Structure 1
């Protein structure tokens, strides 16, 4: 299926639902015949950005590298689904500027909700001091000021959030009706 390339960048706290929503969106787009790639933050860290830590500089470099790959794919007509905490607004805006066809999806859930969903036990470790510089606890998360799409995963069912993303991409002209 011929379509414009676009990077769909899911950002939000750990446990907000970025991976869950992005996986379902990706599957629906794949089923509809779109060319796409998924760059999940956890998977990228074990392959593309191995060796980077969690200082602000390393986090920014991680996002720059994801953005670089996203840009290459986007300009070649691929829909790129990125799921990464990407806590700092400035670096997200930098990546947006380089890519151009960029849709920011703010996966928004209150910190308390994310802590309740903490399947990996990361918040617990961060609160006990085992994990330093943890986003939302000992390191800031800067929410987007004007995301194209916002999913409130504490208030919406999964299919509502998925449909909101797909409809947003249609409204922005990236998907056929």
Structure 2
């Protein structure tokens, strides 16, 4: 593999699609070739913020815009950025395409029915699975918050069934090496 130049690999999809896992594997594989990517994981970034943002549509959009600007800044300083985030807003995706040199958009696609069956996700996606006295989660993207799935993704990976996180990572690493 040749050295990878600066840019942003935007790995998006619903919660539970494997974005963090796949980004971590891609990072490890690239690091093994001498590249040192910067990983921006949406959940980890939220926990670092001094005032954790909420989950309404407006708050999610503000966080997505922050992730875009941060990834843009790091790429502008010569880094390859792997950003694992839900951030399913067409205007954010469009801003990325228009403003980030070396932008590669990856959509990890998993049907909601499959996500409901994944370990630990039933209560997240299926309010009927909650126990007595438990309040359902609100503002869940794909359930009661709209998801604007990518309309121009450079790579769409159906990350379920026979596809493993390693398979998805292989496809992304291959796309990165061909992208330059």
Same fold (TM over 0.5): yes
For residue 100 of structure 1, report the CA deviation from its aligned partner: 2.6
Q: Identify the residue that residue 142 of structure 1 maps to in structure 2.
A: 148
Query: Deviation digits for residues 118-148 of structure 1, max 9, x if unmatched?
Result: 4254224597662111111111111111211
For residue 48 of structure 1, report the CA deviation from its aligned partner: 3.4
Q: Identify the residue that residue 122 of structure 1 maps to in structure 2.
A: 124
Q: Identify the residue that residue 15 of structure 1 maps to in structure 2.
A: 16
For residue 101 of structure 1, report the CA deviation from its aligned partner: 1.8
Query: Deviation digits for residues 4-48 of structure 1, max 9, x if unmatched?
Result: 211111110111111111110011111211121111010111113
SS state at 1:151 partner: strand
Please give the alpha-carbon distance, in whole angstroms, between the structure 2 residues aligned to 1:49 and 1:171.
Answer: 39
Unmatched runs of 5 consecutive residues or more in structure 2: none
Task: Give the 5 Å matches for 1:53-132.
Answer: 53-119=54-120, 121-124=123-126, 130-132=136-138
Residues 171 and 142 from structure 1, CA distance in 2 versus in 1: closer, same or farther, beyond 3 angstroms?
Answer: same
For residue 158 of structure 1, report the CA deviation from its aligned partner: 2.3
Residues 126 and 4 from structure 1, CA distance in 2 versus in 1: closer, same or farther, beyond 3 angstroms?
Answer: farther
Q: Identify the residue that residue 5 of structure 1 maps to in structure 2.
A: 6
8 Å contact kept, 1:126–1:138: no
Please give the alpha-carbon distance, in whole angstroms, between the structure 2 residues aligned to 1:134 and 1:45.
Answer: 16
8 Å contact kept, 1:49–1:62: no
Which structure would you say has the larger Rg? 2
Aligned residues, how many? 173
8 Å contact kept, 2:57–2:145: no
Residues 47 and 125 from structure 1, CA distance in 2 versus in 1: closer, same or farther, beyond 3 angstroms?
Answer: farther
Q: Identify the residue that residue 40 of structure 2 maps to in structure 1.
A: 39
Residues 101 and 127 from structure 1, CA distance in 2 versus in 1: closer, same or farther, beyond 3 angstroms?
Answer: farther
SS state at 1:104 partner: strand
For residue 2 of structure 1, report the CA deviation from its aligned partner: 5.7
Please give the alpha-carbon distance, in whole angstroms, between the structure 1 residues aligned to 2:50 and 2:29.
Answer: 28
8 Å contact kept, 1:126–1:132: no
SS state at 1:132 partner: coil
Q: Identify the residue that residue 175 of structure 2 maps to in structure 1.
A: 168
Please give the alpha-carbon distance, in whole angstroms, between the structure 1 residues aligned to 2:35 and 2:128.
Answer: 39
Please give the alpha-carbon distance, in whole angstroms, between the structure 1 residues aligned to 2:24 and 2:49.
Answer: 20
RMSD (CA atoms): 2.1
